[in-house]
Structure 1
Amino acid sequence: MKGMNYKGYFAKVEFDAEDRIFTGRVIGIRDVIGFHGESVAELETAFGEAIDNYLAACKKLGQQPNKTYSGNLMLRIPAEIHASVAAAAEVSGKSINQWAAGVLEEATHAQ
């Protein structure tokens, strides 16, 4: 997955060819946080400032900031796939959770 991470918040980045700037949007939360920059360095700085400003505003307003993902993921899969996953995990000497985390991490970095 191509993106940015700061203080546990993740952002999707795109290039706006018309305005010739990078634009970013924080993903995985309900609130809307956007930022932009003309270079990668400006974009990184703007992302950090956007998150810091968001957290400060939430504190000032007495609101809890939206949390990023908890790390808990519930999946409903066919029993045959579940059995195959359990076997693959056992063969690799890992728990299903460890095995699935590795597979998912590899898959997200392959994009």
Structure 2
Amino acid sequence: MNSSNRYLKYKGYEGSIEYSLDDGILFGKVQGIKSLISYEGVTIQELEKDFKGAIDDYLNSCKQNGNRPEKPFKGKFNVRISPKLHQELANYAANKHQSLNASVEEAIKKLLA
């Protein structure tokens, strides 16, 4: 794990890194999926090892049970906004000759830049 990263990464999955003051351990969970995959460790090396083991266990369990593993961050999510903002965005998209999705993606890119 690179010290500048905020998440552990392995096989396309990302996991959070958190610390429990009460227990004196590092812990986390895989982000972007509905299934709960958690891991822990006393050191960052232990945390990373447990994270990778948890991912491998999840993938093996899915394979053994004939289930398709969840893929994180599929690129789809629902957003609830006011009807007025929805209308304004739809008008913006129409004026730019692009889809509503393209306009939302454009706005998010600007927000995160």
TM-score by length of 1: 0.64
Q: Structure 2 unaligned runs (5+)?
A: 82-103
Question: Hey, which bits of structure 1, 4+ residues long, moved more than 2 A?
Answer: 70-77, 103-107
Residue in structure 2 matched with residue 68 of structure 1 by the alignment: 72
TM-score, structure 2 length as denominator? 0.63
For residue 61 of structure 1, report the CA deviation from its aligned partner. 0.6
Structure 1: which 5+ runs fail to align?
78-99
Higher relative contact order (CA 8 A, sep 6+): 1
Percent sequence identity over matched residues? 36
SS in 2 for 1:31: coil
Q: Report the AA paired with residue 33 of structure 2.
A: I
> Does residue 1:32 correspond to 2:30, yes or no?
no
Alignment coverage as a number of residue pairs: 107
Alignment-mate amino acid for residue 2 of structure 1: R
**Quick check: 1:53 aligned with 2:57?**
yes
d(CA) in 1 for partners of 2:109 and 2:7? 14
